[in-house]
Amino acid sequence: MAGETLLKIDNVSRSFDLRGTVVHALKNVSLQVPAGSFLALIGPSGCGKSTLLRLLAGLDTPDAGALSVNGVDPFTLRQQGSIGMAFQDPALLPWRSVRKNIALPLQILKRNLDEYSARIQSLIELVGLSGFEDAVPGQLSGGMRQRVSIARALVTEPNILLLDEPFGALDEILRRQMNLELQQIWMKRRPTTVLVTHAIDEAIALADSVAVMTSRPGRVVEVVQIDLPRPRTTEMFRSTEFHAIADHLSELLFTHATA
Chain residues in the site for other proteins (CB under 8 A): 57-59, 78-85, 87, 89, 91-95, 104-105, 107-109, 136-138, 152, 156, 162
Whose Cβ is closer to other proteins: residue 156's or residue 209's? 156
Residue 51 interacting with Mg ion (CB under 5 A): no
Whose Cβ is closer to ligand ADP: residue 98's or residue 200's? 200
Which chain residues interact with ligand ADP by CB under 6 A? 16, 18, 23, 25, 45-51, 218
**Nearest distance from C-beta of residue 26 to ligand ADP, angstroms:** 8
Taking the C-alpha atoms of residue 258 and residue 121, their distance in angstroms, rounded to an integer, is 47
The binder of 46, among ligand ADP, Mg ion, other proteins, none, by C-beta within 5 to 8 A per type, is ligand ADP
Taking the C-alpha atoms of residue 255 and residue 259, their distance in angstroms, rounded to an integer, is 6
The binder of 48, among Mg ion, other proteins, ligand ADP, none, by C-beta within 5 to 8 A per type, is ligand ADP
The binder of 78, among Mg ion, ligand ADP, other proteins, none, by C-beta within 5 to 8 A per type, is other proteins
Question: In sequence order, which residues have a C-beta less than 8 Å from that of residue 224 and are 6 or more positions away?
Answer: 209, 210, 211, 212, 245, 248, 249, 252
CB 63 within 8 A of CB 13: yes
Q: State which residue has the least CB distance to Mg ion.
A: 50
The binder of 23, among other proteins, Mg ion, ligand ADP, none, by C-beta within 5 to 8 A per type, is ligand ADP
The binder of 257, among ligand ADP, Mg ion, other proteins, none, by C-beta within 5 to 8 A per type, is none
**Nearest distance from C-beta of residue 202 to ligand ADP, angstroms:** 15
Which residue among 25, 26, 38, 50 contacts Mg ion (CB under 5 A)? Answer: 50
**Nearest distance from C-beta of residue 125 to ligand ADP, angstroms:** 30
The binder of 37, among Mg ion, ligand ADP, other proteins, none, by C-beta within 5 to 8 A per type, is none
**Nearest distance from C-beta of residue 88 to Mg ion, angstroms:** 5
**Nearest distance from C-beta of residue 202 to other proteins, angstroms:** 22
Question: In sequence order, which residues have a C-beta less than 8 Å from that of residue 150 and are 6 or more positions away?
Answer: 86, 127, 163, 166, 178, 182
